[in-house]
């Protein structure tokens, strides 16, 4: 589904991502991990299109996307949940999910601005899509409540619902577990597992090794911008290069 081939990006002459190759297969949960400064965020942004690669190629569903703007990649079926994305205050949970969907319906912006009947039909369609997504992430009972009252774990679920509304083929999660503890992390892990069971392909970038070990089919480890390991969790966890990279950091 996603093929990253020999991609590099530097800042001020120093490589943040260097000659990185990775593949994500249809239906797989793939995690990219690595110590601080390993290049995870840079790689994530290269895949979403928020940063341009200096070298290499990125293909999605068999099509080169590395020259496409983020919104064009999104239209092809990539959906992103950014790290620590916030909710819109003064809006309900449902309205938070509906934001951003208005441009995606057939009638579009002009019909919305003029409040044409087509627009009202769209509003109903959008609300129905938002409700289905909220149901999927277990927030149906919260739909009419103010979004900023949600505990942080459920705010994360809200971001997921928003991403799901676009009906993505590939879900990209940037450090989804950051700031979550105990039961909240557990619930998020279960949710990711459920989405995988639904057939969604997921690429996540995560600092927390324990969180991804349980979830991922495959783990790609970055260190100093390069891939140092790529394989199933059990194999990667015992890889001497990986242990050295993480130990080196704590030392
Ligand atoms: N916009 C930028 N300008 C200059 N240097 C950058 C920029 N973005 C990243 N870097 C550098 O690139 C390297 C990789 O950073 P990156 O944020 O991708 O790592 P990371 O693995 O996501 O780290 P963390 O776990 O701390 O978020 C670091 O040395 C960082 O300082």
Identify which has the larger pLDDT, 108 or 58: 58
From CA 140, how far away is CA 132, in angstroms rounded?
A: 8
Predicted model pTM: 0.89
| Cα separation, 75 vs 58, whole angstroms | 16
Please state the rounded mean pLDDT for residues 140-153. Answer: 92
Q: How far is the CA of 130 from the centre of ligand 1 (A)?
A: 34
Say if residues 32 and 233 touch (Cβ distance below 8 Å).
Answer: no
The string of pLDDT tens digits covering residues 69-120 is 999 999 999 999 987 677 888 899 999 999 867 655 555 556 566 666 666 7
User: Cα–Cα distance between 74 and 66 in angstroms, integer?
Assistant: 13
Cα separation, 22 vs 231, in Å, equals 11
Q: Is the CB of 153 under 6 A from ligand 1?
A: no
Query: Closest residue (by CA) to atom 26 of ligand 1?
Result: 36
Q: What pLDDT, on the 0 to 100 scale, is given for residue 111?
A: 58
Q: How far is the CA of 249 from the centre of ligand 1 (A)?
A: 15
Local structure of 171: helix, strand or coil:
strand
Q: Whose CA is nearest to atom 8 of ligand 1?
A: 42
List C-alpha distances in Å: 145 to 44, 128, 149: 32, 17, 8
CB 89 within 8 A of CB 78: no
d(CA 125, CA 30): 32
């Amino acid at each position: 589904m996603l093929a990253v081939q020999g991609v590099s990006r530097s800042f001020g002459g120093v490589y943040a991502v260097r000659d990185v190759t990775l593949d994500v297969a249809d239906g797989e949960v793939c995690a990219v991990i690595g110590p601080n400064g390993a290049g995870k965020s840079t790689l994530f942004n290269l895949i979403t299109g928020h940063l341009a690669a200096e070298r290499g190629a990125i293909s999605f569903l068999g099509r080169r996307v590395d020259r496409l703007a983020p919104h064009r990649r999104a239209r092809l079926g990539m959906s992103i949940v950014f790290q620590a994305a916030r909710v819109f205050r003064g809006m309900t949970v449902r309205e938070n999910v509906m934001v951003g969907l208005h441009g995606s319906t057939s009638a579009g912006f002009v019909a919305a601005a003029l409040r044409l009947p087509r627009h009202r039909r769209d509003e109903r369609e959008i609300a129905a899509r938002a409700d289905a997504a909220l149901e999927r992430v277990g927030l149906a009972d919260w739909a009419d409540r103010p979004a900023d009252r949600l505990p942080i774990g459920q705010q994360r679920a809200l971001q997921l619902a928003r991403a799901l509304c676009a009906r993505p083929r590939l879900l990209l999660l940037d450090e989804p577990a950051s700031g979550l503890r105990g039961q909240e992390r557990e619930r998020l892990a279960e949710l990711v597992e459920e989405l995988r069971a639904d057939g969604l392909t997921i690429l996540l970038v995560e600092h927390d090794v324990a969180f991804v070990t349980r979830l991922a089919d495959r783990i790609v480890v970055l260190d100093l911008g390069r891939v140092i390991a790529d394989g199933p969790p059990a194999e990667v966890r015992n890889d001497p290069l990986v242990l050295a990279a993480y130990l080196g950091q704590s030392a």
